[in-house]
Amino acid sequence: MAFSKARHRLVEVPSGRVHLVEQGTGPLVLLLHGFPESWYSWRHQLPALADAGFRAAAIDLRGYGRSSKPRDVRDYRMLAHVSDNVAVVRALGEETATVVGHDVGSPIAAASALLRPEVFTSVALLGVPYTPPGGPRPTLAFAQMGGEEEFYVAYFQEPGRAEAEIEPDVRGWLAGFYAGGAPTFVPPGGTMRDRFAGTAPPAWLTEADLDVYAGEFERTGLTGALGRYRNFDRDWEDLAAWRGAPIVQPSLFVGGELDPSTTWMADAIKAFPVTLPGLAASHILEGCGHWVQQERPAEVNRILVDWLRQDAAT
C-alpha cells in the first residue's frame, strides 16, 4: 500500500487537538515519535503496517506540528501525554490499541501502558528501554552525569537556552543532530552544535525529509517540544504510586547497537525479565544508531509486523 494513501486528521481531545496521520484498517497501532521529530518519523511504517492488516496512526505529540501547544510548561507532563493518547484512541472509535514509541515517545508509550493497561494492551519501545518510575530525583541525577560536561537533558532545562541555539538555524541544527546520533553531552561553556559541527547529513535522511522536519520547527519553534524534558521532576512526583512497577502486557524492544541509550542504559535492558515480564523479544540492531525506524525501516517493519501478528493471534 502506497504511503500516498495515508490520511491526515485533527481529532479533538480534552486539552485541545491532536494531529495524526493514519493508514489501513484493522487493530489500531498508535505510533509516538521522539525529539526532534514528528509523525513523519513513521513514514516507512505506516504503509507497512497497513499492508499487514493494521490501522496505523502516527500522531504529532502535543507541542509538535499541528497538535496543540499549551503555553504552560506543566501541560507537557507525562500524565498529559497519556491523557492525549487515551483520547486519541477514543476519538478514532476504538477501545484498545497497541502503543509504539521511539526516543521520548518510548517512555510515553511505556507510561501509557503502565497507567492505562485496559486501553493499551501491548507496547513496543524503540531506542529507549523501559525503566520503572522511581529512583533519585531526575534533575539531581542529570546534574551528576558527564563530569565537566553537561548532560543534554540538564542543558534543556532552562527555558530559552536550547531555543537560542537551535532556532536561528533550525535546518542546519537538525541536520547535525540527526547525523550526530543524538549527542548526549554538551562541552563546558559550549552548545550541542559543537558536538556535530561539520558532520554530513546521514544517508537515511534525504534533503526532502530534512525539509519536512525543518519546516515544522521553523513554523512552531522548539519550546513545545522541549516541554517534555522540562517535566521530568514533575513526572517523578506524579508517578510515585507506580515506583518500581513492571509493565505486564505483551511488549517488544528494538534498539540500535550504536545508540548511546543501549549502552548507558544497559542495566535497564538486563532488567527486562523483571520490568517487562511480557517481553516477546529484545532486538539490538547491529551497526544501527538512534533513529532505528528510519535507519533500518525494512528490518524494523518486519520485527513490528511479526510481533503484532503474534500478539493478535494470542
Annotated catalytic, 51? Answer: no
How many Cα neighbours within 13 Å face the side chain of 243? 9
Q: Rounded to an integer, what distance in angstroms lies between the CA atom of residue 122 and that of residue 28?
A: 11
Q: Rounded to an integer, what distance in angstroms lies between the CA atom of residue 222 and that of residue 205?
A: 20
**What pLDDT does 8 receive?**
97
Q: Rounded to an integer, what distance in angstroms lies between the CA atom of residue 209 and that of residue 85?
A: 26
Spell out the domains of the chain, with CATH numbers in brackets: 3-313 (3.40.50.1820)
**Digitized pLDDT (tens) for each residue of the chain, 314 residues in all:** 566 689 999 999 988 999 999 999 999 999 999 999 999 999 999 999 999 999 999 999 999 999 999 999 999 999 999 999 999 999 999 999 999 999 999 999 999 999 999 999 999 999 999 999 999 999 898 888 877 888 889 999 999 999 999 999 999 999 989 987 766 888 888 888 888 877 778 899 999 999 999 999 999 999 999 999 999 999 999 999 999 999 999 999 999 999 988 988 999 999 999 999 999 999 999 999 999 999 999 999 999 999 999 988 77
**What pLDDT does 190 receive?**
86
Evaluate the CA torsion angle 135, 138, 143, 146 in order and state its sign. positive
Among left, alpha and beta (phi > 0; psi -120 to 50; other), residue 2 is: beta
**What pLDDT does 134 receive?**
94
Query: Which grid cell sits at 217?
Result: 520547527
Evaluate the CA torsion angle 239, 240, 244, 247 in order and state its sign. negative
CB 129 within 8 A of CB 255: yes
Q: Rounded to an integer, what distance in angstroms lies between the CA atom of residue 284 and that of residue 306?
A: 16
149-154 — which CB contacts under 8 Å span 24+ positions?
A: 149/185, 149/186, 149/187, 149/188, 150/185, 150/186, 150/188, 151/184, 151/185, 151/186, 152/183, 152/184, 152/185, 152/186, 152/192, 153/229, 153/232
**What pLDDT does 48 receive?**
97
- DSSP-derived letter for residue 247 is P
**What pLDDT does 61 receive?**
98
Strands 185-186 and 150-151, sheet pairing: antiparallel
Question: Annotated catalytic residue: which of 75, 103, 259, 311?
Answer: 103
Question: Annotated catalytic residue: which of 19, 33, 102, 290?
Answer: 290
Annotated catalytic, 283? Answer: no
